[in-house]
Chains A and B, each alone.
Chain A
């Protein structure tokens, strides 16, 4: 692809912008659903337990892992955006900070995923 055909060059900053938007939209729509399902505690214990029970299935366990991943990426990249905006050091090192975001994300998922999957699939 010749670089002149697009305004965007696909470097780290642009991809993290795409990641920030997609994870943000995903978490927003989950939040709408999550407030509605939690509102069922106001209806009856049975209604809440029945709906929340569907979250405890293998399919939802995977979706929850994806949700936590989206939140973690959005959170760490948000901190990178603030840093790049506030400090010239961070601005000069914004590419390295992209790697810091992914490393922080990997560490958090390593701490969360095994335990969550054990809870969901009956190991713990």
Chain B
């Protein structure tokens, strides 16, 4: 059985006044967004996966029918951005904990930042430039609201 490592003082002192401020904001954001995300994601799962026909109802017509409404556009936008920042902030802490080599840690942190920005921008563009009734599409695949157009 391996011995527990000795706890030695860090070689480089850490400034607790500045580290503390950033980390406190990070922790506050994690809690507040976490509570909001519980409401958003549980609603999302209830409507899409439990209500009605559950997983079987999910197709283009279902998603387009929802995203045609500004309420669900903004609901999904808030869920997307909060979930990505909450998740990326958690991943940032995990990378800091386990990636001990500085170059490797920097690579992972940058990959995380780039992936987060790409996903948030892509998701936002889709939510707000999306056409629920594309003109050249098979009408049988479209939501019922397209019949009125």
Contact = CB atoms under 8 A, between A and B. Distances in A.
A124 B4 CA distance: 54
B90 A28 contact: yes
Contact of B55 (A39, A45, A116): A116
A78 B67 CA distance: 29
Given A35-B123, A48-B63, A116 B35 contact: no
Interface in B1-37: 1-5, 31, 34-35, 37
Interface in B85-139: 87-88, 90-91, 94, 115, 119, 122-123, 125-126, 129-130, 134, 137-138
Interface of A: 1-2, 4-7, 21, 24-25, 27-28, 31-32, 35-36, 38-39, 41-42, 44-46, 48-49, 52, 55-56, 61, 64, 68, 71, 75, 78-79, 81-82, 85, 111-112, 115-116, 118-120, 124
A24 B95 CA distance: 13
B59 A78 contact: no
Which of A25, A42, A79, A115 has the most B CB atoms < 10 Å from its CB? A42
Contacts, number: 119
A124 B52 CA distance: 10
Contact of A31 (B53, B83, B126): B83
Contacts of A39: 122-123, 126
B75 interface: no
Nearest to B41: A71
